[in-house]
Structure 1
């Protein structure tokens, strides 16, 4: 046998080996894949048809997970006493302005609501459904404003 014949024979052996590997059945068992038919049958795995499966060793699902430690939050520089008092007084002033604004809006809504019987407009005299919708909207707006006032008051109470 010459060198040419041996090379051709080696090429056929390699081709046959790769064809044998490609012809193997691949089974999917949940998030795992196997080519062992007996194990796949025992575990009730499904045959993967038409396509190739690429196995990447060391992936997240392989069980080789390294422990991930959370990084601490970056340190926030502390303010000295005078700076902190200034920040607190600014926060209090902003919250107080928001509280005053919310209370004024609630007073306006209560005036429009007129204790459950707001005045009807010309359109609402012809369309009673529009009146009922406006009354419902006023009630919802008042409830929202009362909730806002309560939350702003809680924030003010938290401040030193």
Structure 2
């Protein structure tokens, strides 16, 4: 049976399976109510269903898990699984994420280093950082000289102007990266204890 609605006349026509046409005159409020009832019934959540899970031995001996009655298969066993329980999350009273209330306690058996060894390690670290900073600053000064304030000298393989622009952009990016690295090394050095 097919149902059709003529929008201009508020008539619902249905063609019955036996070939006859039937027309019913329906007012708009009744039609809206009927549609709302149908859609409202479909929007209700489905109740939780429990299905049995079976483990069966496959053709090559590999276990297969099925969620229904496997039929007359003798190699299938029903698994006794606990019901699934869902718990809604708790509400927080504050607007943001809660802070951890327990601080990580430092273990008492943690190995300690005497102050002379620690000062020696700090001195070695300072020397390594200073060496890296000097290396980075030397590299940076070479890049700045080659960059020549945004107008580096053209090289022989840069007959195409786009290659020249690409090298200029690469130099500019390398200088920015070098400056960031040098600033990071200076910050690390300032954080070291004297």
Same fold, TM-score > 0.5, yes or no: yes
Q: Which runs of 5+ in 2 are unaligned?
A: 1-42, 52-65, 69-78, 88-103
Greater RCO, CA 8 A, separation 6+: 1
Give the superposition deviation at 1:62: 6.4
Cα separation, partners in 2 of 1:45 and 1:122, compared to 1, 3 Å:
farther
Q: What is the root-mean-square deviation of aligned Cα atoms in Å? A: 3.3
Mapped to 2, the partners of 1:93 and 1:147 lie a distance apart of: 20
1:83-98 to structure 2, matched below 5 A, reads 83-98=117-132
Give the superposition deviation at 1:77: 1.8
Mapped to 2, the partners of 1:147 and 1:72 lie a distance apart of: 36
Q: Which one of 136, 152, 159 corresponds to residue 169 of structure 2? A: 136
Mapped to 1, the partners of 2:170 and 2:192 lie a distance apart of: 34
Give the superposition deviation at 1:42: 5.0
Going by fraction, where is strand more abundant, 1 or 2? Answer: 2
Q: Name the structure 1 match of 2:186.
A: 153
Q: Name the structure 1 match of 2:157.
A: 123
TM-score under structure 1 length normalisation: 0.58
Give the superposition deviation at 1:45: 5.9
TM-score under structure 2 length normalisation: 0.49
Mapped to 1, the partners of 2:142 and 2:185 lie a distance apart of: 18
Going by fraction, where is helix more abundant, 1 or 2? Answer: 1
1:42-80 per-residue CA deviation (whole Å, 9 max, x = no partner) reads 5236988xx416663388x666xxxxxxx9777642211
